[in-house]
Chain A
């Protein structure tokens, strides 16, 4: 036991003296959270739009007011001519044009059906899509509002709002994804590199000749990274709550327990990689390419899994981060309890057990 403590202390020396690695460990999560939270957000703020209101009635006035009230748009009212729209887009700056035809209010009153044209700058498809979504949502919202006012039993109103709210904070989905990604990188890559470094420098040989048990070498290597990962996890949570305004709706302790489980999964993976290679570069490449890409692609936070071909959906099942992502989403964003995530937890625990068993077995057989 005392030997283990001596060893762990040594591992901490390594970690704290390697400034570059430390920077990577804490820099990556901060950079990613800020990138995904702000730079890569699908939110569009203060987009310049023109509302061409040819009707000038109560209804169009109310809709215009609603659009103006939103922070997403910088509204300019102008009776722009259809022929001038293209020229306006070409000048740049303008993102979207909303056109109410002259009979808008009348059509709505008499036919119960009115048309509004939304023209967006399709050269920037992401922004265009987001803006048209926002506008459609605002108009749908208004339509429901007046339908309700006419005493017809419409009850879909809150659902629309939910959808609308989800659009309002794009960071929501990224936080669990970044968590999975960062823990994967930090635990898997750094653990494998730490073990392989001892092989490269020849110190592993000395350790194997010493009475210190080989399995203990792995445990001693893993513990500092476990501690650091928990610190990084806490940092990401703090950043997401206080900087990105993503609330933690579920139990924090459950979130921690699930995360520690996932960290152990990643550590086992790192140990496994370190067993199969003898150079730090290979270890880093294996864990970065072998782990990061599948995590990005198959976790479902960047590309929806539902849209993938069947074969990829099946493959995604063996990516541990996918299950962790589901758990974090459920616990953190939806506020669900353990009874909703026990299946995912079980899958993750099973994977961990298998990976750890293989890692330990390989490590032993390599000695003889």
Chain B
């Protein structure tokens, strides 16, 4: 286990290292001059530009720039934003809780919906209910999350005059209001995920339910509930978790759209704003942050297989 863990961590670090080089180089390939963006006017003097390039360290060789940037990343100095001159890391840090809460709620919602649907579909294979649930889940997959979000804003307002409170209050400050602000975006974000999870749960359950040990546990008189929930579901979880790992990136990307619809001040909205005003240090920091989160979570997902299936030992 220790050796496997070390290998996986090293691999993840390697991937992140290459990602950081790609992002760093790409940002420096942007056509146009940085100083025009900073000064926000097309006519700037050469002397002004010189000063800005000097300040940003753009006249150093690329490798030196990269090394000092990486050194900064590791010590918490992610640079300053181009226009507002704030610390890139501080901007990111204050927005993590919003996005974290949104994605966790969406994930919880997705699993709460997906597991029962997948299980029922599998247990009642080829029945009417199975067919209906399958068609529904394909339909869900086709609904763009941002459109679902707009529907959830428009129709309650239309029918019942209900609009959720705009913006974001801290969870600890006012938990109820916080949840009221987040449940609609979380549902929008989680629905597509729940559809694909339900489909995998169904097929994984079907496979497991045919195995001998399930027949054995039924034969020894275990209740159907216990057979399905304890013996079948746990073994069917591996493909479900694999798919979930693959979908985390989609979930994170979806926050960009949903936070901008629901005006939630999270990482997604920050990304959208940074791209809109061409604040490249901020964009660079955010892209690297997202990649780090994704690679780390995927690593954790890989390691969680051992918990679901103790036969996996990572020798």
Q: Do A and B come from one complex?
A: no
Residues of A within 8 A of B (CB): none
